[in-house]
Amino acid sequence: MSPSTLVFVEEREGELVPGSLGLLAKAAELGGEPVALLCGSGVRDLAEELGNWGAARVLVAEAPELDGPLAQPRVDVLAGVLERGGYDTVLFENSALTADVAAALAARLYAGVNWDLVDLRMEDGELVGERLAVGDTVLVDVAWTGEPRIAVVRRGILDPSAEGARTADIESVDVAVDERSTRVALVERSSDRSQKTSIETAEVVVAGGRGIGERDNLRLLEELAEALGGAVGVTMPLVDRGWYPYAHQVGQTGHTVRPRLYLACGISGAVQHRVGMEKSGTIVAINSDPTAPIFRYSDVGVVGDMLEIVPRLTQLIRDRGLSA
């Protein structure tokens, strides 16, 4: 039997989060008619877009308490919708907000939550989640023993699809926010503006690893990224050393990227890095070690010193007028 799926669609600063839209495509693939839940304040116009991404119905919860990205008012809304019945599965894409919402919802409803899923499928009428384990080296199946089944999908894994586009029915839902849920208030909102282009949306990512040697050499990556009109990505060790902000980390505990071109410079290609970039269009690796694992999943491999090659490449792109 197809699941009755409620998809929690995240809105951030007036825009729909693309991964949430990917959840709608996945829900449609699982069967049944996906229903989207959109919470916020002044989000009705966004609700109308959700039919384009495959939602059969959109529940809109609007209230001043839902204005900021706070979890508890959203948990109240979700718990109310689920208590009225009709849904056996709730899908979230992982984010700072949805991680809180999914966990609190599971606690509130004594429901099972499976985390960090990379895919979902139906098998013999049962919903099965797929997640990576043992440092992302093994793919395991996970399931739920009761309902509602709460599934949190790894960020950036699911692509939105306009294939099932339709006109969705839009329905307002009553918002009854518990007094306790309003005790946390949003004091201030700020965002990291250090990133000129987001690595998640950039067409080109120039990524660097420990092979850059010194912090100052990061400028070589920045110059190449600028010449190509792309963004800089880094491996975890560079973030751990405080050399570059977390917003640029690619990998299991960083971001998943899918640029048309991924240039990996001085990166060994550990599995935890690989899971964040292997779906890129073309992967070009520069590494001085011909046995580096990164070459196993690169389309083009260059064995050499990135500190020599990267500046020459930047110069070449500039000289030939190939700059974006």
Task: Note the residues at the interface with ligand FAD (CB under 6 A).
Answer: 135, 209-211, 235-237, 249-254, 266-268, 270, 272-273, 276, 286-289, 292, 305-307
Smallest distance from ligand FAD to CB 212, Å:
8
Nearer to ligand FAD, 164 or 233 (CB): 233
User: Contact at 8 Å (CB) between 30 and 121?
Assistant: yes
**Which residue carries 């919802």 as its tokens?**
105
User: Contact at 8 Å (CB) between 229 and 204?
Assistant: yes
Smallest distance from ligand FAD to CB 310, Å:
9
User: Contact at 8 Å (CB) between 181 and 73?
Assistant: yes
Strands (E), 70-111: 89-93
Nearer to ligand FAD, 230 or 266 (CB): 266
Nearer to ligand FAD, 72 or 252 (CB): 252
Query: Which residues, listed in sequence order, are joined to residue 33 by a DSSP beta bridge?
Result: none
d(CA 112, CA 110): 7
Smallest distance from ligand FAD to CB 115, Å:
14
Nearer to ligand FAD, 8 or 295 (CB): 295
Smallest distance from ligand FAD to CB 267, Å:
4
- H-run or E-run covering 254: none
Strands (E), the chain: 5-9, 11-12, 15-16, 35-40, 57-62, 89-93, 112-123, 126-133, 138-142, 149-153, 169-172, 204-208, 231-234, 261-265, 282-287, 300-303
Nearer to ligand FAD, 81 or 306 (CB): 306
Smallest distance from ligand FAD to CB 307, Å:
5
d(CA 258, CA 249): 13
User: Contact at 8 Å (CB) between 263 and 229?
Assistant: no
Nearer to ligand FAD, 160 or 301 (CB): 301
d(CA 285, CA 310): 11
Nearer to ligand FAD, 70 or 234 (CB): 234
Smallest distance from ligand FAD to CB 237, Å:
5
Smallest distance from ligand FAD to CB 284, Å:
13
